[in-house]
Chain A
Amino acid sequence: MSSDETERQSIEGELLVPQETYMLSGIHIGTEAEIKAMREFIYKVRNDGIHVFDLKKIDERIRIAARMLSHYEPGGILAVAASRFAVRPVQRFSQFTGAVAFVERFTPGLLTNPNLPGYMEPQVILLSNTEGGSQVVSEAALAGIPLIAFCDSNSPIDYVDLIIPMNNRSRKSLALAYWLLARQVLRERGQLGTQEDLPVKPEDFEMESEEGGIE
């Protein structure tokens, strides 16, 4: 057995899913631009200038985010989809974890104006994209609500309390990340065994191309 293969197997033993599953979803592919705060999660820069995330760090952050979410009541978690491909993953995530899903256009004041119909007071927010969800970010800052966000290599991290570094533009990577997060939250709560899986596959979290959603 070659040393590369041994190293790969030892890494796979530590990861939540096999390395190939991560690679096939493209969760590690960043953008050409990077911001300083995301530099610690970057593994390397490819020849074409694309930043590649460290899979171990993605894995570790998903575990930590799940641990953080398990500290809150299911109804106190607000999962917001800020891009088209995050709609279905967010809906499926809330279906399994009991979190409140928000997949429509975010009306300003929903977290800060008590007179507004549909006013919410979540304990923690899980955001799919900080660029698309800038209104959610600013309202979470005003209301003093902890914010967990999926951040790409060029995503702004203002007011984010826990970064999950990953490719947040791809359909497959968002599906895999929400699937892993849902599974890990249930494991942390004790609703799933440490080796048990969700009854559905990551593909079931995937947004279909014909489905509508917020742009």
Chain B
Amino acid sequence: MSEIRPTITVEFPICNSCRKPITPKERGVSFLCPNCGSYTIWRCKTCRKQGTKYVCPNCGFTGP
């Protein structure tokens, strides 16, 4: 009888600027939206380096 192994699903956070998943090895950053403070914004290292804009889907604040 074959053993049924439990499967684990891991969801990576998505970068708010480029919409790519941020892997744990990548040095991304997360912070609450500076304007509304109710949505957690994630930014990947590349977008931080390039200064790519991010938009809060809750209040529409555009940064950096």
Contacts and interface: CB of A to CB of B under 8 A. Distances in A.
A158 B49 CA distance: 5
Kindly list the 3 A-B residue pairs having the minimum CB-CB distance in the complex, ordered from nearest. Answer: A68-B34, A146-B31, A157-B51
Contacts of A37: 51, 64
Nearest to A123: B31
Contacts of A145: 29
Contacts, number: 52
A204 interface: no
Nearest to A151: B64
B55 interface: no
Interface stretch (A82-90, A160-168, A191-199): A160-168
A161 B64 contact: yes
Interface of B: 27-32, 34-35, 37, 43, 45, 48-51, 61, 63-64
Interface of A: 37, 64-65, 67-68, 71, 124, 141-146, 157-163
Binding site of A, secondary structure by majority: helix, strand, loop or mixed?
Answer: mixed
27 contacts: A37-B51, A64-B35, A67-B35, A67-B37, A68-B31, A68-B32, A68-B34, A68-B37, A71-B37, A124-B31, A141-B27, A141-B48, A144-B27, A144-B29, A146-B29, A146-B30, A146-B31, A158-B49, A158-B50, A158-B51, A159-B48, A160-B51, A161-B31, A161-B43, A161-B63, A163-B63, A163-B64
Contacts of A71: 32, 37
A183 B12 CA distance: 38
Nearest to A148: B34
A158 B35 contact: no
Contacts of A146: 29-31
Nearest to B45: A141
A33 to B, nearest CB: 16
